[in-house]
């Protein structure tokens, strides 16, 4: 070997003073592979966190809202149950035994209305009706005066009626078919609630 060749070789010798034998034969990290791999790992972690954590957290939150709504319904139900005592007192107030004197002296409007539906409406046309104190005034139209009188008699037979009168009656004619009809007004004197109970 020539001296020049030996000099060339010695100039290319490594200048490291230590060697890690564990790394002997191992290649370094290739950045062209490493960077896409890191991006894929991050994307996979994001997807896993979305499906495994965020979506489940959203479902848990929705379930908690539903539970809160149901709990509110239960609480409202308990409030209504708690108010049962007041409702029972109110109901008891409107029984005959617990009415005020003014309420006992008032005729039952629901019974009076039912009487009109049962007795007057099938036989005549009710034009208007009103109740003031215990006096009901009914303005109606019927076919004949006898029909109006029959209605008044049937009203007299009711348990909540003291007496009644036909206070006005007039015969009129339909212009388009020239039929006769009677306009009348019946005054009905109703019994008070206490009079019905004691009567």
Which is higher by pLDDT, 156 or 34?
A: 156
Over range 75-96, report the average pLDDT.
70
Which is higher by pLDDT, 24 or 82?
A: 82
Give the per-residue pLDDT at 119: 92
Sign of the CA dihedral 137, 141, 143, 145?
positive
Distance CA 164, CA 60 (A): 72
Residue with tokens 């049937």: 154
Whether the predicted pLDDT of 72 surpasses 60: yes
CATH architecture of the domain with residue range 107-198: 2-Layer Sandwich (3.30)
Distance CA 57, CA 54 (A): 5
Give the per-residue pLDDT at 188: 93
Give the per-residue pLDDT at 23: 57
The residue ranges of DSSP E strands in the chain, in sequence order, are 125-132, 135-142, 161-173, 180-190
Distance CA 181, CA 170 (A): 8
Give the per-residue pLDDT at 8: 56
Distance CA 185, CA 130 (A): 11
Distance CA 166, CA 138 (A): 10
Which sequence spans correspond to the domains of the chain? 107-198
> Which of 11-25, 71-85, 154-168 has the highest average model confidence (pLDDT)?
154-168
The whole-angstrom distance between residue 144's C-alpha and the CA centroid of its chain comes to 50
If pLDDT is split at 50, 70 and 90, which confidence band does 21 have?
low
Whether the predicted pLDDT of 15 surpasses 70: no
Query: In this predicted model, what pLDDT tens digit does every residue of 144-182 receive, in sequence order?
Result: 888 889 999 999 999 889 989 998 778 876 666 667 788
Specify whether the backbone of 140 is left (phi greater than 0), alpha (psi in -120 to 50) or beta: beta
Give the per-residue pLDDT at 106: 77
> Which of 28-42, 68-82, 142-156 has the highest average model confidence (pLDDT)?
142-156
CB atoms within 10 A of CB 140: 22
- List, edge to edge, every strand of the sheet that includes 161-173: 125-132, 135-142, 180-190, 161-173
Over range 27-31, report the average pLDDT.
65
Distance CA 58, CA 45 (A): 18
Six token digits for residue 188: 């009905």
C-alpha distance from residue 131 to each of 75, 82, 165 (Å):
43, 38, 15
If pLDDT is split at 50, 70 and 90, which confidence band does 43 have?
confident
Give the per-residue pLDDT at 6: 53
Whether the predicted pLDDT of 26 surpasses 70: no
Give the per-residue pLDDT at 59: 82
């Amino acid at each position: 070997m020539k001296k020049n060749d030996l000099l060339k070789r010695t100039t290319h010798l490594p200048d490291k003073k230590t060697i890690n034998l564990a790394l002997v034969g191992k290649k370094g990290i290739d950045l062209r592979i490493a960077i896409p791999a890191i991006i894929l790992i991050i994307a996979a972690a994001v997807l896993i966190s979305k499906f495994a954590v965020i979506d489940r957290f959203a479902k848990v939150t929705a379930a908690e809202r539903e539970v809160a709504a149901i709990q509110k319904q239960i609480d409202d139900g308990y409030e209504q149950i708690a108010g049962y005592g007041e409702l029972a007192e109110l109901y008891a107030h409107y029984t005959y035994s617990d009415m005020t004197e003014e309420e006992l002296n008032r005729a039952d409007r629901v019974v009076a209305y039912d009487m009109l539906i049962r007795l007057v409406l099938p036989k005549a046309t009710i034009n208007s009706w009103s109740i003031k104190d215990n006096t009901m005034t009914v303005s109606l139209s019927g076919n004949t005066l006898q029909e109006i009188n029959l209605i008044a008699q049937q009203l007299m037979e009711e348990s909540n009626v003291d007496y009644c009168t036909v206070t006005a009656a007039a015969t009129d004619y339909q212009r388009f078919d020239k039929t006769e009809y009677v306009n009348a007004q019946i005054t009905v004197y109703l019994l008070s609630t206490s009079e019905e109970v004691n009567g």
